[in-house]
Structure 1
Amino acid sequence: MAHHHLHHPSGSARSLSPSALALATVFCLLATHLCTAAAATHVRSLTVSAPPPVSAPASAASSAGAAAASTAIFGDGRKHITGRHVQKVQANGSSAAIVRPMGVVESGCGSDTCNAEPWRCNVMSDPINVYLIWHGAFSKAQKNVVRTFVRSLSSSEGTVSGWWGISQLYTDCDGNAVSGDVALAGEMQVRPNAFKLLLGENSLVNLVRMGINRGKFPADVNGVYFVVGSRWSKQWSSLNPWGDNFCSGYCGWHSYRSIKGKQLKYSFVGNPAGRCMWGCGGKTLYNAPAGPGGAGKGMDSVVSTLAHELTEAATDPYLSTWSDSEGYENADVCDIDFQASDLSTTSDGAPYNLEGIAGSKFLVQLNYHPTQHQCVSTV
């Protein structure tokens, strides 16, 4: 199993009983095309359980005689739940912008950890490459909303780079900060048949592997591979196939897995249009007459969720660096919070808080400032 960090809809903490976990395991053994074998998953709505022994990334694992490449990599014991980390979905009718009390996000890396296991304390300090795997049908306009946002992250044009500047305040043991250089480095279109619209977790890893095998993109340790699900894609959780899935349990998540002998970071982000726009887009976007991207409000939600997962992957790539005392990462603290005072509107009433290249506009949740200890839209 991979180690995931999930972006969830709002919901109470839950855990599976042994009997339910056994049922989930049987379900997954019978339907491996839908999900991987049931295992504890790092989901914001789940209660915390003690993590299993830590396995090091490939570079450290090889010297330590660690397990095979498909072995899960888990974070440290700071209340990380084994599995993935998700962004929560807001409950319908909720008026709260932030779905949990604000914690203090801090590095979990003291001098002992930095000296003994520095890989645990990594941030993505080298130039970051974003790879997009389009799962299902997207129009050119829909794709361009996401492409333009990613290309705006490092541009001096507009304010999107100021939002990414918050990520650059996070450092590793040696003081190396998250890179300000983010590029759209590759894409792959997947046109699944109806049956394969149900994505299991191993299916996502296989999509990344397929793209590498086909030469669409390299096996890049400085990359984050995003599987972007269309409005018809369904992402199936290995932990609880009957509950914690895209829209019913979360909006997106990030993780990492050994692929092609390298620890590669990947993420799932879904389009909530027609399914959970309130939960994943938030009430501001849900109630708006239009979205700022001009390609449907679902794609505006995709942009905000992708931004959420990208900053978390950059600041906490192995789920052991930056989080609060309960394991919530920087973007979790500000989940689906757009700060009304920061909002402007387009001529057709679409709300936005950031501007990018070529006059593009976006509605992106706030991010946690690690020294001001508050949610902000730009540095």
Structure 2
Amino acid sequence: MKLLSCYSVLLLLLLLCFHEALSWSTEYTQFSQAENYEGSSDLISLEYHMGPVLASAINLYIIWYGQWNPTHQGTIRDFIDSLSSSSAASSYPSVADWWKTVRLYTDQTGSNITGTISLSGEFYDTGYSHGVYLSRLSMQSIIETAVTSRSRPLPLNPRNGLYLVLTSDDVRVEDFCRAVCGFHYFTFPFVVGVTVPYAWVGYSGSQCPGMCAYPFAWPKYSGKPPPSDGIMRAPNGDAGVDGMISVIAHELAEVSSNPLVNAWYAGDDPTAPTEIADLCLGLYGSGGGGGYVGKVYKDAWGNDYNVNGVKGRRFLVQWVWNPVKRRCFGPNAMD
């Protein structure tokens, strides 16, 4: 009876851990609902809670879960390559310039978030190792599969590894499209073997572009026709992947500044933190707020963007909270 009781207690503890993971997962939700304005700093209580930030050079590992369009993969790779200051061969304002705002955040030693993000490995889970219907906790099992695979496994890197799980358009993820477009958290040692930060983002091109690829698509449930100037043109030709890149940027900014959910966030409830990108949902340029994304650029074909990347790429990425200026900010700001 004592042995059975111990197992029961252990099971209860595991279930509590799972519950915490669901509660603490920070989410990128539909940003068209945001009513943020650039200068509302008096309402912000962003605080540092003494936890670590990702100050060491990041080795980023992508797990491509499902069947992916190679063109979309190339666009995402180019965005990742554009983040690092070592790849800042892009005209101003660049993706690396956008990341400089994220770099302003420090840990208790005064170390800033790193400016070096290297795409250090990719794993192709084309066989849908955990099926096409995934829970949020499935992401940790997918990472475990990628690092223990007999064929070209990813390294398990607890020192400076960051894992990015990207699911294809035919994969259904818990709460995807209904409540979230992406989230980040950290792995449990009893699942993966160590604690490493990770993020998940889904491709929304066929499932819910009006939610997760806005402002390149219009919410179908809004009950209103899109305004003539309300739909933006995707700079890389696909609303799903261009919208996904902004969500990836959002999650990378937050996992870097709050990897263990005990560093930078606003609010009194640590189980539901409001993080540095959450504070700027829906803002991409000066004058944004209340459903207007702000002033951005247009290329020669009329596509909308606000930062430049490697290989002549252009992207539209959401602003993040600048702790020095105490407002949402991006390198395309007009002031």
Comparing 198-207 and 170-179, the one that deviates more: 198-207
The C-alpha deviation readout for 1:171-202, integer Å capped at 9, x for no partner, is 01110110001011111112246991111233
Corresponding residue for residue 27 of structure 2: 86
2:284 is the alignment partner of 1:338: yes
Q: For the structure 1 residues 74 and 127, does the alpha-carbon distance in structure 2 shift closer, same or farther, using more than 3 Å as the test?
A: farther
For residue 147 of structure 1, give the secondary structure of its aligned residue in structure 2.
helix
Partners of 2:187 and 2:129 in 1: CA distance: 27
Corresponding residue for residue 233 of structure 1: 171
2:132 is the alignment partner of 1:179: no
Q: For the structure 1 residues 88 and 196, does the alpha-carbon distance in structure 2 shift closer, same or farther, using more than 3 Å as the test?
A: same
Partners of 2:213 and 2:252 in 1: CA distance: 17
CA apart distance, 1:108: 2.2
Q: For the structure 1 residues 73 and 247, does the alpha-carbon distance in structure 2 shift closer, same or farther, using more than 3 Å as the test?
A: closer
Corresponding residue for residue 44 of structure 2: 103
2:57 is the alignment partner of 1:127: yes
Q: For the structure 1 residues 311 and 261, does the alpha-carbon distance in structure 2 shift closer, same or farther, using more than 3 Å as the test?
A: same
Corresponding residue for residue 212 of structure 1: 147
The C-alpha deviation readout for 1:279-298, integer Å capped at 9, x for no partner, is 2222355454641123x110
For residue 24 of structure 2, give the secondary structure of its aligned residue in structure 1.
coil
Partners of 1:366 and 1:83 in 2: CA distance: 23
Decide which of 258, 275, 279 is 2:211's aligned counterpart: 279
The C-alpha deviation readout for 1:60-80, integer Å capped at 9, x for no partner, is xxxxxxxxxxx56969xxxxx
How many pairs align? Answer: 284
2:240 is the alignment partner of 1:298: yes
Partners of 1:107 and 1:342 in 2: CA distance: 31
CA apart distance, 1:261: 3.4
Partners of 1:164 and 1:211 in 2: CA distance: 28
Q: Is the 8 A contact 2:186 2:195 kept in 1?
A: yes
The C-alpha deviation readout for 1:337-375, integer Å capped at 9, x for no partner, is 212554111233221001011110001000110121111
> In the alignment, residue 153 of structure 2 is paired with which amino acid?
K
After TM superposition, list the pairs within 5 Å mapping 1:322-361 onto structure 2: 322-326=264-268, 327-339=273-285, 340-361=293-314
TM-score, normalised via structure 1 length: 0.68
Q: For the structure 1 residues 278 and 38, does the alpha-carbon distance in structure 2 shift closer, same or farther, using more than 3 Å as the test?
A: farther
Corresponding residue for residue 24 of structure 1: none
The CA RMSD over aligned residues, in Å, is 2.7
Decide which of 97, 119, 125 is 1:162's aligned counterpart: 97
CA apart distance, 1:104: 3.4
Corresponding residue for residue 4 of structure 2: none
> In the alignment, residue 311 of structure 1 is paired with which amino acid?
A
CA apart distance, 1:90: 4.1
2:199 is the alignment partner of 1:262: no
Q: Is the 8 A contact 2:216 2:234 kept in 1?
A: no
The C-alpha deviation readout for 1:222-241, integer Å capped at 9, x for no partner, is 122111111221112xxxxx
Decide which of 132, 135, 138 is 1:197's aligned counterpart: 132
Comparing 348-357 and 270-279, the one that deviates more: 270-279
Q: Report percent identity of matched pairs.
A: 25
> In the alignment, residue 301 of structure 1 is paired with which amino acid?
G
Decide which of 303, 317, 321 is 1:364's aligned counterpart: 317
The C-alpha deviation readout for 1:233-252, integer Å capped at 9, x for no partner, is 1112xxxxxxxx00001110
Corresponding residue for residue 225 of structure 2: none
The C-alpha deviation readout for 1:105-147, integer Å capped at 9, x for no partner, is 22123xxxxxxxxxxx100000012111112221111001110
Q: Is the 8 A contact 1:343 1:353 kept in 2?
A: yes
For residue 131 of structure 2, give the secondary structure of its aligned residue in structure 1.
helix
Corresponding residue for residue 153 of structure 1: 83
Q: For the structure 1 residues 289 and 122, does the alpha-carbon distance in structure 2 shift closer, same or farther, using more than 3 Å as the test?
A: closer
Q: For the structure 1 residues 73 and 313, does the alpha-carbon distance in structure 2 shift closer, same or farther, using more than 3 Å as the test?
A: farther
Q: Is the 8 A contact 1:186 1:216 kept in 2?
A: no
